[in-house]
Structure 1
Amino acid sequence: MSQSIGRAVEILRLVASSTDGKRLVDLQRETGLTKPTVHRILNALRGHGFIDQHEDSKRYTLGQEISMLGWSAGHQAYDLRDICADNMVEVAQRTGDTSFLSVRSGYDVVCLDRQSGSYPVKAFTIDVGNRRPIGVGAGGVVLLASLSEEERKDAYVAVKGRLDQFPAIDLKAIRHAVDRALDCGYALSNGFVLAEVRGIGVPIRNIEGRTVAALSLAAIKDRITPERLPELLTVLKAGASQIEQRLASAMQSKARGTA
């Protein structure tokens, strides 16, 4: 049973990672499962409203039930995007660059929010709601570095075959960036997503000390230089610290409400 659930979750995440849906053959190739197995799981998910299939293209997309579950969850817990909103804007305003809020979903990273600063050349490396393999980009490196050593090994295996759309990066570069982040306490992405763009990121931790999100900046390379790095890190770390304080208050309020 646990294996079937794991396969269904993997398929849901793969479908969610595509803006225009996935074909059966895509899911078969990316999961390594047989066609009948993938088809059986898809039919089960469709039956519960978690997956839809478009009649014309035959592509699979997320179903309405996923939105309903998300809506219900949002009314039972704190909203991380709301908690971070003011600091996201502040980081973008103080630096002039683009700030990002990212969270981990399995072996993916999802962009929850993005705010642009005043500098005229924008570094929009990912859109809100989009996914990409964990370890790609500064936020992804932060979240990958937060995992245990055993979890990181599994993550490296999972993302190895998904880097084709990011020709500037490979598994060796991701490993190096993660090792560096573990040593320095922050992540640096140098052309991982776009050749002329750099990114830096720091963790956001909950009251238990667990990393729940990443706060990062992206800009053209001339904007993130060794000379400017300390200034940018100061802004990022201040923003993350304030978010952590709000997050702790939200978690304590929720705990009191359920006591």
Structure 2
Amino acid sequence: MTSHKTETTRIEGDTPAQRLLALLEVIADKDHFFTLQSLVEETGMPKPTLHRMLQQLEGSGMLQREADSRHYGKGNRLRRLAENLLLNDTVHGARHAVLSQLVDEVGESCNITALSGSEVLYLDRVETSEALRFYLHPGSRVPVHCSASGKLFLAQMSPAQRRRLLGEAPLKAFTTNTLTDMDQLEQEIDAVRQQGYAFDDEEFLSGLLCIAVLANNPQGGKSNIGIAIQAPIMRLTREKALECLPALQRAANAIAAIDSDAMLTQHHTASSV
């Protein structure tokens, strides 16, 4: 059965470079593989033109061809670009101040994270002054299925999207608590979606407990910013972590407000040019 689109996504720009960037924006918004033909139908652009543009993006490492040679996906260079933008964001200082205040309030290490591929990327982290602590620096990565923030990111996806992201291979066990069965993970994600927070209960590192929430996306829709508290289980139980939840949610709201202000400033700046 053939579906008919009522409107197309226009690829606009005065120069070839601007049109290439506009196409890259369309591609970056996709959460699935795509073909040349699907882009032709979506954008209404001539097939030879789109084919040439895709070749340029593939040649630069921004896209990569999948095994069947028909489908395209995001390339390593595009992922690195996205990660560098997140790690060096201009709102980093303001977010870091919120994170520092949260650490002062709860007395444990806290971090800000984002989803990168099938991993959770640490954008920022402030350590507790306690002698016993786990060191995870900005730039560190944690598998999405055994991370508190990761479960929140997964909870925003459809089951099909989650399975596509996690792949067909068995989920890797890092500790005896790691959820390696997809059905068990789905049950956990259902609970996370309902309660609005998630735990990593010694699922990535033995002896480490983590609780996380998401900062709302100022534009609505899915969030890609998580904020979490981490501590050794001898200091942070599930019950004590839940007592920290109001402080964690206040910090998430503060970060969402910072991001919203930054977007408004960017919009006003662009409008005045």
Asked if Structure 1 and Structure 2 have the same fold, meaning a TM-score greater than 0.5 normalized by the shorter chain, the answer is yes
Question: Does 2:130 match 1:152?
Answer: no
CA–CA separation in structure 2 for the residues paired with 1:240 and 1:89: 13
**8 Å contact 1:99–1:218 — kept in the other structure?**
yes
| 1:232 and 2:262 aligned | no
Of 154, 165, 180, the residue aligned with 1:171 is 180
Q: CA deviation at 1:91?
A: 1.3
Distance 2:206 2:84 in 1: 40
CA distance in 2, matches of 1:245, 1:193: 31
Amino acid at match of 1:244: A
What's the CA shift for 1:167?
5.6
Deviation at 1:191, TM superposition (A): 0.7
Structure 1 residue 114: Cα displacement: 1.1
Q: Given the superposition, is the C-alpha separation of residues 219 and 73 from structure 1 closer, same or farther in structure 2, using an over 3 Å criterion?
A: closer
Equivalent residue, structure 2, for 1:133:
143
Higher alpha-carbon Rg? 2
Matching residue of 2:102: 91
Contact 1:145–1:179 (CA under 8 A) maintained in structure 2? yes
1: CA distance, partners of 2:115 / 2:80: 20
CA distance in 2, matches of 1:117, 1:91: 10
Cα pair 1:93 1:118 within 8 Å, conserved: no
Give the Cα separation in 2 of the matches to 1:100 and 1:169: 21
Could you tell me whether the CA contact under 8 Å between 1:133 and 1:162 is conserved in 2? no
Q: Could you say what secondary structure the match of 2:244 adopts?
A: helix
The answer (yes or no) to whether the contact 1:96–1:116 under 8 Å persists in 2 is no
TM-score (norm 1): 0.66
Structure 2: runs of 5 or more not aligned = 1-23, 29-55, 63-75
Q: C-alpha displacement at 1:162, in angstroms? A: 5.6
Residues 135 and 143, structure 1, Cα contact 8 Å, conserved in 2: no
Q: Which amino acid aligns with 1:235?
A: A
Contact 2:91 2:258 in 1 (8 A): no
Following the alignment from structure 1 to structure 2, what is the Cα–Cα distance between the partners of residues 201 and 79? 23
The letter for the 2-side match of 1:222 is M
Deviation at 1:87, TM superposition (A): 1.0
Q: In structure 2, do the counterparts of structure 1 residues 81 and 140 end up closer, same or farther at CA, with 3 Å as the change threshold?
A: farther
- Give the percent of matched residue pairs that are identical in Structure 1 and Structure 2: 21
SS of the equivalent of 2:191 reads helix
| Aligned mates of 2:84, 2:141 — CA distance in 1 | 22
Q: Unpaired runs of 5+ in structure 1?
A: 7-43, 51-62
Could you tell me how far apart the structure 2 residues matched to 1:162 and 1:128 are?
25
Aligned residues: 204
2:260 paired with 1:248: yes
Per-residue displacement from partner, 1:176-199 (whole Å, max 9, x unpaired)? 432221121100111111121111
CA distance, structure 2, for counterparts of residue 199 and residue 88 of structure 1: 15
How many Å separate the matches in 2 of 1:137 and 1:71? 18
Residues 177 and 201, structure 2, Cα contact 8 Å, conserved in 1: no
Query: Quick one: which of 214, 219, 222 aligns to 2:234?
Result: 222
Structure 1 residue aligned with 2:197, among 186, 209, 213?
Answer: 186
Alignment of 1:45-124 (within 5 A): 48=60, 69=81, 79-124=90-135
- Provide the secondary structure at the position in 2 that maps to 1:228: helix
Tell me if structure 2 keeps the 8 A contact 1:142–1:203. Answer: yes
3-state SS of paired residue (1:153): helix
SS in 2 for 1:199: strand
Q: 1:45 to 1:252 in 2, by over 3 A?
A: closer
For CA contacts below 8 A with separation 6 or more, give which structure has more relative contact order: 1
